[in-house]
Amino acid sequence: MKVLLLKDAKDDDSGQDPYIQELRLCGLEATLIPVLSFEFMSLPSLSEKLSHPEGFGGLIFTSPRAVEAVKLCLEKDNKTEVWEKSLKDRWNAKSVYVVGNATASLVNKIGLDAEGAGSGNAEKLAEYICSMVSLYSPGCPGTHSVDQAGKPLSELPLLFPCGTIKGDTLPKMLKDKGIPMESMHVYQTVPHPGIQGSLESYYEDQGIPASITFFSPSGLKYSLEYIQALSGGSFDQIKFVAIGPSTTRAMAAKGLPVSCTAESPTPQALAAGIREVLKPNKCC
């Protein structure tokens, strides 16, 4: 049985996309179609902030693209050496919060120690950060309570490189708890130039998929019209799946029935969800 994943391919150590591998174990034939492209911005400003960890209480990453922006800064500004010698250790003296294992893996690759990866989405990460507030409070025990100058890290903002269409849940939750944060837009999301052609080729070669998974509100926005047109009268037969709660809300806002939301943004959780949704059809 065929399923369609609206995301770009990410190879793991085996050289294959982990979502494709996991779904194959269920007897499902998955195809990836990228629907988003990313354009980086404000990299000089980000580079300057990365050079001064003393001005921040830590870092927040909620997407792989934000980590890629940091990597680009280091490469473009020839800061790789100083990053390896001192900057990464100075940032590791603080907390580096992340959403999801994919983002955590990229954070680790640039030498930073990630925490909160298991939170799964921005809302749960915000809850995790709020639960750690005591570690940043003056007088409270904890390795991250003060910076090298003795200033409480709770008084320093968390640096949050993000996209231009980030949700407001995490910033609002931190603000409500009095946790300072400095957001900066380091990339913007645009439609992938090959969406229409790739979807048309898929439908021509593979037919109507049993299930389609959306990986972001933006991916939904840029692809839904094409999917509706190509699916025609079979549109209502497709089981639509969301990778997380923000995508679920976006789908509901479009009037799209959500058959399943993955419990976490991982190949295993998504495969389990799709398997359950297609169970009556004896897919696996």
pLDDT digits (tens, 9 = 90+) for 181-210: 999 999 999 999 999 999 999 999 999 999
Q: Provide the 10 A C-beta neighbour count for residue 147.
A: 19
pLDDT (mean) for 32-37: 96
Mean pLDDT for the stretch of residues 36-54: 95
- CB proximity list for 256: less than 8 A, separation 6 or greater: 220, 224, 240
Quote the pLDDT of residue 15.
66
120 has pLDDT over 60: yes
What's the whole-model pTM score? 0.75
> How far, CA to CA in Å, does 47 sit from each of 3, 184, 251?
41, 12, 36
Percentage above 90 pLDDT, the chain? 75
Model pLDDT, residue 235: 97
Q: What is the pLDDT of residue 199?
A: 98
pLDDT score, position 251:
98
More confident call, 273 vs 148:
273
**Per-residue confidence at 133, pLDDT binned at 50, 70, 90?**
low
Scanning the structure block, which residue is given the tokens 């955590």? 104
Q: Which residues pair with 158 in a beta bridge?
A: 58, 181
Name the pLDDT band for 153 (thresholds 50, 70, 90). Answer: low
Give CA separation, 30 vs 137, 232, 239, 277, in Å.
Answer: 48, 21, 14, 15
Mean pLDDT, range 244-263, rounded to an integer: 95
Residue 152 pLDDT exceeds 70? no
State the pLDDT at residue 270: 96
What is the per-residue pLDDT across 170-180, written as a single tens digit (0 to 9) for each?
999 999 999 99
Q: Which residues contact 88 (CB under 8 A, 6 or more apart)?
A: 110, 111, 112
Summarize pLDDT for 49-95 with one digit per residue, the tens: 999 999 999 999 999 999 999 999 999 878 899 999 999 999 999 99
Asked if the model's pLDDT at residue 17 lies above 60, the reply is: yes
pLDDT for position 280: 63
Q: What is the pLDDT of residue 123?
A: 87
Beta carbons within 10 angstroms of residue 100's beta carbon: 26
Distance (Å) of CA 64 to CA 4, 108, 125, 169:
22, 12, 15, 19
- Across 160-164, 264-268, 270-274, least confident range: 264-268
Mean pLDDT lowest among 65-74, 113-122, 207-216, 230-239: 113-122
Closest to 212 in 3D by CA, of 66, 43, 32: 32
Q: What string of H, E and C letters represents the secondary structure of 132-143?
A: CHHHHCCCCCCC
Residue 205 and residue 253 in contact, taking contact as beta carbons nearer than 8 Å: no
Mean pLDDT of the chain: 89
pLDDT of 143 strictly over 60: no
